[in-house]
Amino acid sequence: MAALGTFLAALTACGGAGFDGGGAGAAGRPGHDRAGTAEPIRPGTVDDLRPGATDPTRIPGVGDRLKRRIPADSGQVVAVYGNGRDSADATLVLYTRHGNRWERTGRWRAHNGKKGWTTHHRSGDNRSPVGVFTLTDAGGVLADPGARLPYTRDLSFAAPRWWAASHWHDFDYVIAIDYNRVEGTPPNDPTRPEGEDKGGSIWLHMDHGSGTSGCVSLSKAAMEYLLRTLDPDRHPVVVMGDRAELEA
């Protein structure tokens, strides 16, 4: 029964029991899709995003409303810039704080919910929740690649084989986004403190080339980089949303 519960939890990843996103034919080989190509980073550069584009003490493109929700002790911010409210395309940027300055240390193309973004996420709406969330736990099908966050390897993370083949490796690596979940538990823990209607199992996970049911997806190489870099001692958080909501 315990194994069955864990298996069913994996099926509800990204907020729904159906497979995570459409357009599976665009994905290419699992774990090696075009959506996650890293861009070269020059130390000390900042993105041309407003507000904060020229202020190194701010996360570019993040307005005061969400800036106030970033914990004072957070030294790592994963910023997910959605292309638009109804777009499934996004850019993910990792920022690291040095003193009072933020430095961009990684940038990748990504996908979010297939229907875009929402400030009131509900189970099955196929939109990613806008907000600031902690990142405390990781796991997946594959062996721990050297993660700093607590990592749970469990074969029950695997996508069922009745999903399109392009989705089979979506959950080889996952990082739980602490939206409606219990921090300090494996990402596939099914507990929903705010109720089932608010959805859950919102993760960073591997990309299949199209939108998700609410998660944020990126390449295998990007996931490995984040797993090896996000440090619980630096209290990492994700700031995510479409650009208009982020700037508000």
Task: Please count the residues of the chain.
Answer: 248
Residue 18 pLDDT level (bands cut at 50, 70, 90): very low
Give the per-residue pLDDT at 19.
31
Whether the CB-CB separation of 163 and 19 falls below 8 Å is answered with yes
Residue 225's alpha-carbon distances to 103, 202, 218, 220, in angstroms, are 16, 19, 11, 9
Per-residue confidence (pLDDT) for residue 154, from 0 to 100: 96
Q: Which of 3-7, 63-67, 77-81, 172-176 has the lowest mean pLDDT?
A: 3-7
DSSP 3-state of 152: strand
Strand-strand pairing, 76-82 and 89-98: antiparallel
What per-residue confidence (pLDDT) applies to 197? 96
pLDDT in tens, 132-181: 999 999 999 999 999 999 999 999 999 999 999 999 999 999 999 999 99
CA–CA dist 97, 236 (Å, integer): 11
- pLDDT bucket at 121, cuts 50 / 70 / 90: very high
Check the CA dihedral 173-175-181-185 and report its sign: positive
Cβ burial 138-150 (10 Å sphere, 16+ → b, else e): bbbbbebbebbbb
The per-residue pLDDT for 131 is 98
Residues 182-206: pLDDT tens digits?
Answer: 999 999 999 999 999 999 999 999 9
> Would you tell me how many other CB atoms lie within 10 Å of the CB of residue 192?
18
